[in-house]
Structure 1
Amino acid sequence: MNGRNPAAGTVFLTVFSADLEAACGPIGGLTACLSPAEAQSARRFARPGDRLDYLASHALFRLLAAHRLGRGFAEARQLEVTRWCSGCGSTGHGKPAVAGASLSLSRSKGAVMVAAGPEGTPVGADIERIPDTLHSGFDQYVASAAERIALAPGDIPARLRLWVAKEAVLKAAGLGLSVPPAEVHLACDSANDDCSTLRADSPAHPQVNGLGAVFLPAPPGYVAALSSAGPTPLTRLSLTDLLPPRPAA
């Protein structure tokens, strides 16, 4: 496909940063997909793992944007990526965007995730590696009062699922973590008997109300979620959908 036949609805991909780096080797590496400014920005990370995650997440963002727009992988580097911060209005930082599509990216300790939907459709994606421990104030910061009652003591994976679902919702709303996650309540969508979709409610932040969140397949040891405004087809892509085929041996 190589980005020329985009699927309908929202597409997403989660991948280990090292796997994306290896897959991009034949086309010149991760930086072959990035703008010179993005490649330069990666140098500010002191830890090699953090630097790789930054390069991988932004390369995947451009590759998926090119796919969403029906363009080839070779055009990913030329896409104009703009930024806007919902908190201060700055265009020097904030959520990246490409005209013609709605996109969201996330990275966490060795893994990256990007989702893309039709332009104008709220999309938020988040992936997190499950830690061994959480800081003592996690529940108060993340969970609503009702959610705190439902959380089992010591259940770290359940808490991380709540975190990624809420961060995905807040990204889709364009708010990010300018809103404390505890101010958003997630409940099972009444239209889904299996509780496969959660719905957000936040009286203080009406732009959050009604946004949905679903959990997505993630690498072992990670959790991932995607948020959108309503029911939409979801398609999980692979790197073969975004990159040119490898030459025959």
Structure 2
Amino acid sequence: MTSIRVRRAAVVPADALVPRLSPDERDRLGRAAPGDRNPVASALLLARLAVAEACGVDPGAVRVRRRCPRCGSAAHGVPVGDLADGSPAPQLSMSRAPGLVAVAVSHAGPVGIDVERIRPDAVGVEGAGPDGVGAGRPPSGAGGVGAGRRPSGAGGVGAGRRRAGADGLGHVVLAPGEPPAAGPHGLLRSWTRTEAVLKAAGTGLAVDPRALRVSDDDGRPALLVVDPAARPALDAAPGLRWWLTDLDLGAREPGATHVGALAALVPVGTGPRVDHRAVDLARHAG
């Protein structure tokens, strides 16, 4: 059975994690905006720990870098794990929101994860600014160094994302006729599902979020590409299928702070087992 590891952690002050960061990671941290230092440091260390755990190696034998699947640039793009001995590393996805970072690791194929913080007014998402590690940002965020920060089309969704709090997140993320995800914070759940799929596809927001449905008629996770122009980027390769689920971050509980989703390409006829755990990064500080 396909197994996907999900590791999440509360954000830890960057200064406490610097001794555990590699030279490359410290360089990336040095380029982060002052307000992003803590989540960037936490996400970088969590990703390396998760890849090392999945491969049974020391974290020092893992390097996490970026690669754009479209242009090959190392200055932006999706996260990629490398092992010091050159053996194959699992697929990796990273996400961060205020107060929380998360990564997903899969040996089976492409994987995408997205987490977002629930705003107190429940209108849209509270972004963390440029995430430095992922493949898109929430509707109220902007830019970043992940893959595909801007959707295709002039003005279109980019402008809509900036207006999300005022005009409604549904105009940004829902395909025509698509219902919000079932349960509390349905539109925000729809956004996390969409981001997770686009990260796994390697496109980020170069594909318009409204080009796909991520919920069936009852609001349950299900992927359907509705824009033919997006099919080359999103259709599963032969022998693979899309798998999509919400992450249990307590969003249905009183006082919930975050929602999340996980997407992956898995072999047809299989369903992955998700190993989802919290990690205490403070134990790795110092």
Q: TM-score range by the shorter chain?
A: 0.7 to 0.9
Q: After TM superposition, give the deviation of residue 151 of structure 1 in Å.
A: 4.1
1:34 to 11, 15, 21: 21
Q: After TM superposition, give the deviation of residue 243 of structure 1 in Å.
A: 9.9
Match of 2:244 in 1: 213
Does 2:59 match 1:70? no
Match of 1:201 in 2: 225
User: For the structure 1 residues 38 and 196, does the alpha-carbon distance in structure 2 shift closer, same or farther, using more than 3 Å as the test?
Assistant: same
Q: After TM superposition, give the deviation of residue 118 of structure 1 in Å.
A: 0.4
Alignment of 1:57-136 (within 5 A): 57-71=43-57, 75-98=58-81, 99-118=88-107, 121-131=109-119, 132=121, 133-134=123-124, 135=164, 136=167
Whether contact under 8 Å (2:180, 2:190) holds in the other structure is no
1:12 to 6, 15, 23: 6
User: For the structure 1 residues 151 and 126, does the alpha-carbon distance in structure 2 shift closer, same or farther, using more than 3 Å as the test?
Assistant: closer
Whether contact under 8 Å (1:124, 1:228) holds in the other structure is yes
Match of 2:191 in 1: 163
Looking at structure 1, the residues matched to 184 and 70 of structure 2 have their Cα atoms a distance apart, in angstroms, of: 30
Report which stretch shifted further, 132-141 or 226-235.
132-141
Does 2:170 match 1:139? yes
2:261 to 225, 236, 244: 225
Tell me, what secondary structure is at the counterpart of 1:67? Answer: helix
The unaligned stretches of length 5 or more in structure 2 are 82-87, 125-163, 236-240, 251-255
The unaligned stretches of length 5 or more in structure 1 are 1-6, 23-27
Q: After TM superposition, give the deviation of residue 175 of structure 1 in Å.
A: 0.8
Looking at structure 2, the residues matched to 114 and 144 of structure 1 have their Cα atoms a distance apart, in angstroms, of: 27
Looking at structure 2, the residues matched to 127 and 66 of structure 1 have their Cα atoms a distance apart, in angstroms, of: 22
Q: After TM superposition, give the deviation of residue 114 of structure 1 in Å.
A: 0.5
Tell me, what secondary structure is at the counterpart of 2:195? Answer: helix
Q: Which amino acid aligns with 2:6?
A: F
Under a length normalisation based on structure 2, what TM-score does the superposition of the two structures give?
A: 0.67
Does 2:31 match 1:44? yes
Looking at structure 1, the residues matched to 25 and 90 of structure 2 have their Cα atoms a distance apart, in angstroms, of: 20
CA RMSD of aligned residues (A): 3.1
Q: Which amino acid aligns with 2:79?
A: P
Looking at structure 2, the residues matched to 67 and 195 of structure 1 have their Cα atoms a distance apart, in angstroms, of: 34
**% same residue:** 31
Q: Which amino acid aligns with 1:93?
A: H
Whether contact under 8 Å (1:102, 1:122) holds in the other structure is yes
Under a length normalisation based on structure 1, what TM-score does the superposition of the two structures give?
A: 0.76
Q: Which amino acid aligns with 2:28?
A: S
Match of 1:237 in 2: 277
Whether contact under 8 Å (1:31, 1:59) holds in the other structure is no
Per-residue CA distance 1:75-134 (angstroms, 9 max, x = gap): 323423332113433122211111420110000111000010105x11000000012333
Looking at structure 2, the residues matched to 32 and 213 of structure 1 have their Cα atoms a distance apart, in angstroms, of: 36
Aligned length: 218
